[in-house]
A = this chain, B = another copy of it.
């Protein structure tokens, strides 16, 4: 089959890779109908993480082609969505809603779903069947559910966005934007997008942002306080992963408030005493997307949400290299790869 491989920073190629097979009786093999490029794929692309001949991609929708002997709930022909972490969905961690830290977790990025096919470990726990036949727009939204929507949703839930709450969102990439959508669906009263890109501000407002703050750092924190009677936001979503974004998120949150952080941390150090006196709730990490998939699929198939609009560039799998380039150069927010 054809699949994307990153040979070195900046060197992305589409090439022949071995067809996946059932390796464990709990595996399934799916025909990928669409995949995409993640903001986190840019870290190795830019040399911020080591990379060498790595298959790429961890987001996917597709149709089941084969199942192992122990797979009970998923069948050949099912149209499915899964998270970027395969999970058994039965251990205590999964049952508590933290499937991204399942005791048997497999990171799908190590398998590489920017490809024609993919092996899905722990298929019964990982995959969720989509009822009916999605439209093209619904399929794009289902693909978003696989990571960026599910991650933004988790960030909003971790930040305890809800009725009566003012939510600040640090980061205007796909995850931050879909965090806004999630906060809106969860009933937040006011949503402040921190963004200085005109197009992303527009999308932020489409998803439910009531205010936009262009300032960053200390000035950004001061602006959030000014907008909240000096208190700070009740809930803050952090969707970048840098020292500046974490400091900004914690500083923008009132004592007793909640920070949901989902940007993969790069070089972040938190000073214990600053955190002590911030007195905020912190919850973050790889999002347990699987927890939210049934609800998100339902909302998408009933056309209640349209997260798929974050894809602003669509390319065939063979042109993946151009997709990476476009995201790296910020010409695209999120690239969909059709297979």
Which A residues have a C-beta under 8 Å from some C-beta of B?
92-93, 96-98, 100-101, 103, 229-231, 241, 243, 246, 254-256, 261, 264-273, 275-286, 288
Contacts of A255 in B (CB 8 A): 93, 98, 100-101, 285
Contacts of A278 in B (CB 8 A): 285
Q: How far is the CB of A117 from chain B (nearest CB, A)?
A: 29
Q: Find out whether the CB atom of B265 lies under 8 angstroms from the CB atom of A272.
A: yes
The 8 Å CB contact of A269, one of B271, B280, B282, is: B271
Contacts of A281 in B (CB 8 A): 281-283
Contacts of A230 in B (CB 8 A): 103
Q: Find out whether the CB atom of A269 lies under 8 angstroms from the CB atom of B272.
A: yes
Nearest neighbor of A273 in chain B, beta-carbon distance: B265
Q: Find out whether the CB atom of A96 lies under 8 angstroms from the CB atom of B286.
A: no
Q: How far is the CB of A153 from chain B (nearest CB, A)?
A: 16
Q: How far is the CB of A60 from chain B (nearest CB, A)?
A: 23
Known pairs A265-B275, A284-B276; A256 contacts B101 (CB<8 A):
yes
Contacts of A256 in B (CB 8 A): 93, 96-98, 101, 288
Contacts of A243 in B (CB 8 A): 272
Q: Can you list 28 A-B pairs with a CB-CB distance of less than 8 A?
A: A92-B231, A92-B254, A93-B231, A93-B255, A98-B255, A98-B279, A100-B279, A101-B255, A101-B256, A101-B279, A243-B272, A261-B276, A265-B271, A265-B276, A266-B272, A266-B273, A267-B272, A268-B271, A269-B272, A270-B272, A270-B275, A275-B285, A276-B284, A276-B285, A277-B286, A279-B284, A279-B286, A281-B283
Q: Can you add 9 more A-B contacts, CB < 8 Å, to A92-B231, A101-B256, A275-B285?
A: A92-B229, A261-B276, A266-B273, A269-B271, A270-B275, A276-B286, A279-B284, A280-B283, A281-B283
Q: Find out whether the CB atom of B246 lies under 8 angstroms from the CB atom of A272.
A: yes
Nearest neighbor of A103 in chain B, beta-carbon distance: B230
Contacts of A288 in B (CB 8 A): 256
Q: How far is the CB of A295 from chain B (nearest CB, A)?
A: 18
Inter-chain CA distance A270–B271, complex, in Å, is: 7
Inter-chain CA distance A265–B268, complex, in Å, is: 18
Inter-chain CA distance A273–B268, complex, in Å, is: 7
Inter-chain CA distance A210–B92, complex, in Å, is: 22
Inter-chain CA distance A288–B255, complex, in Å, is: 11
Q: How far is the CB of A86 from chain B (nearest CB, A)?
A: 15
Q: How far is the CB of A23 from chain B (nearest CB, A)?
A: 24
Contacts of A266 in B (CB 8 A): 272-273
Q: How far is the CB of A278 from chain B (nearest CB, A)?
A: 7
Q: Find out whether the CB atom of A254 lies under 8 angstroms from the CB atom of B285.
A: no
Inter-chain CA distance A283–B254, complex, in Å, is: 13
Q: How far is the CB of A16 from chain B (nearest CB, A)?
A: 34
Contacts of A283 in B (CB 8 A): 279-282
Nearest 7 CB-CB pairings of A with B: A268-B272, A279-B285, A265-B272, A101-B255, A98-B256, A270-B270, A282-B282
Inter-chain CA distance A36–B243, complex, in Å, is: 40
Contacts of A97 in B (CB 8 A): 256
